[in-house]
Structures are given as C-alpha cells and as structure tokens.
Amino acid sequence: MSIDPLSDGHIHTSLCHHATGSMEDYVLAAIKAGMKEICFLEHMEEGIDSHRTTWLTEDDFAVYFIEGERLKEKYGKKIKIEIGVEVGYNPDHVDLLQKRLSQRSWDRIGLSYHFHRPVGEDYHLNLVSKSDIRLQQLPLEQAKRIEEAYYANLTDAVEKIPAAVICHLDGVLRYYPGRDQVEPPWHLIEALLDTMQNNNVGLEVNTSGLAIRGEVFPCRKILTMAIQRRLTLVAGSDSHRPEDIGHGFEKLAEIVRQAQLQ
C-alpha cells in the first residue's frame, strides 16, 4: 500500500472565506514545494444554518472553474492542477447536492460531513470548528450520539454521493473538550469502511491533524482497517494558507508503513 507525497489532494482558497491566498498563490507555493500534482477542493454545502458562511455559492464556483482553467493552461507544464470539490453531506438536502454536483465536471469529489442538525432542532452544529461554542458545552452522552450519527450519515452519504475520497474521516468533534473520553463507535467505522470498499471510495490521509492532535486524520487504527480493505490512500494537507501545501507529507510513508504493520 502506498501514498503519493508529491500529490496534495485537498487545498482551499480565499473563495471559502476562511482561507487566505488566491488560487494562483497556491499553485506557485505548490510548485515551490516540489509538488507534481494538486487538487483544489473547495467547499460546497447546502441548506446549512450557520452563523458564518464557509462555502462557495454557485457564482463563486463559476469563478473558481474559470480561474482553474486559466491556471491549468498557464502552469500545466510544471504541475498538474485539478479542480475538485469538498462536498459537505446534508441528509436533508441530498437531491439538491446531487443536482449541483452533476452540473459541473469535477476532477475530484471529496466527501465530508461538517454540519449536523440534532434531532428535533433547526440549527446545525459545526462538528469540526473550534469556534462553535455549543460544542464546548455538549454533555458527553450527547457527544457520543452525535459521533454515532456522524458515521451513520457518512455511510449513507457514500451510497448517495459520487465521491472519490472521504476527507478527514475521524475529524469529527476534533475540538470537543471531552474528545478523549468518547470512545469512537468502532462498529460504525467498520461499516463505513466496508461501504467505501464496496463503492470503490478512497480514504484521505489528512495531515492537518498533525497540528491539531499530533496525528493525521484518520488515526492509525482506522488507517490499518482501511489498508486491510485495500482502500486507495490519497494525501491531503487541507491547506488554508499557501505555505501549508504538502505540510507533513514527508512523514506519510512512515505513517502508512506503521499502519501496515498492525
């Protein structure tokens, strides 16, 4: 099992409102970092009630494609550039997400589940944000239920969204203060990985986890489970600054080797 450390498959831009740098800045940084391939993976969300917008509108995506094509033309001899999307699953708006995805020719579709609407509520919790104060106050039992719902919904999403790869698979509740006290629901993670295998969906090894928790997303145990199922592994930095492209990729070969030994 191998992973290509010269291909960064998860890059954001200033278009998502919480990253810095133009698309061209990222391309130039990637060339400087010696990458041979990058994939922009900008945020698509649908029907999310959140206090801030962290995703692109369809007008933004139009600009994104035009600029992406220009950059492919300009830098194509130096680096392969892909224009992809990180689609956030929303079980309440599957049809609309499918429709929006089908309207453009993405080089890659990455699938995440960032926002969760608790049963009976009309707001969404941002499961991956450090600024969502409601997460900080979540009782442990409720956090467990939310994590279970996260994996169940993501499994459902794999069946419904034509994704190539699952992003930051165990990044759920990454900033939750009681994170260490919540044992991951392993049976649900197994079910998700089985569904990925059946649908030929790859697994992202996301190095943004190194700074957040000292380990990539997903953790070694899940990586081992993925390798046993022969899932394709794809490297992603989840860069929100040009200088983060390829961050930690020099560690990837050893991380995968260690996971294989388990």
Q: Which window, 15-23, 77-85, 237-245, 252-260, contacts Zn ion (CB under 5 A)? A: 237-245
Q: What minimum distance in Å lies between the beta carbon of 94 and Zn ion?
A: 18
What is the Cα 180 distance to its own chain's centre? 22
Q: What minimum distance in Å lies between the beta carbon of 111 and Zn ion?
A: 10
Q: How do 108-112 and 7-11 pair as beta strands?
A: unpaired
Residue selected from 7, 13, 112, 207 as contacting Zn ion according to rule CB under 5 A:
112
Residues in contact with Zn ion, shown as a per-residue x/- string from 73 to 102 under the rule CB under 5 A: -------------x----------------
Q: What minimum distance in Å lies between the beta carbon of 216 and Zn ion?
A: 14
Question: CB neighbours (10 Å) of residue 97?
Answer: 23
Q: Is 238 in the site for Zn ion (CB under 5 A)?
A: yes
Nearer to Zn ion, 57 or 198 (CB): 57
CA pair distance 127, 114, nearest whole angstrom = 5
Strand order in the sheet with 233-236: 7-11, 37-44, 80-88, 108-112, 165-166, 202-206, 233-236
Q: What minimum distance in Å lies between the beta carbon of 83 and Zn ion?
A: 15
Nearer to Zn ion, 155 or 208 (CB): 208
Q: How do 125-126 and 7-11 pair as beta strands?
A: unpaired
Nearest to 205 by CA among 179, 170, 176: 170
Q: What minimum distance in Å lies between the beta carbon of 141 and Zn ion?
A: 26
Q: Which residues are at the interface with Zn ion (CB under 5 A)? A: 86, 112, 238
